[in-house]
Amino acid sequence: MALPIQPNTTCDIYRFGVMPPAPPAVAAVPCYLQPAWRAGQEQGDRSTTPVQLCWTHIMLVETDVDLRDCYLGSLGAGFQDTVYVPDRHGTAFRVVFIERVHRNQALDHKRVYLDRQAPPWPTNEL
């Protein structure tokens, strides 16, 4: 299927517990990254929510991209992936939640809610 908008960057995907300089699980994934800090903060409370469902960015990827979030419903937090934009030398984003949008339609894709981690300063990758 296709993204509803052209990718504006790429990312490297790392599984839980693995980080650069190790090689990524998946490298150079085309994606569309957009800021969503205000909306992401309104949905959760970092100080009281056991499963931190706050995000800072939204990323769109193709449906065949293997990404894993930390959401386990009422069971609490699991083990999520981390993506690095534009690659393993860039800014880390923790995967909070993934939803499939427009299933089995022309614009079928995944919407990925991300929580930006401390970037390597200086940076132009946000």
pLDDT digits (tens, 9 = 90+) for 57-85: 999 999 999 999 987 765 555 689 999 99
122 vs 95, residue with greater confidence: 95
Query: Tell me, what's the pLDDT at 123?
Result: 75
Could you please state the CATH topology (level 3) that the domain comprising 9-116 is classified under: Thrombin, subunit H (2.40.10)
- Among the listed ranges 33-47, 56-70, 86-100, which one has the minimum average pLDDT value? 33-47
State phi, psi for 75 to the nearest 5 degrees: -80, -10
Query: How far is residue 126's CA from residue 51's CA, in Å, rounded to a whole number?
Result: 24
Tell me the pTM. Answer: 0.86
Domain boundaries, the chain: 9-116
Q: Which residues pair with 99 in a beta bridge?
A: 111
In contact, 62 and 109? CB cutoff 8 Å = yes
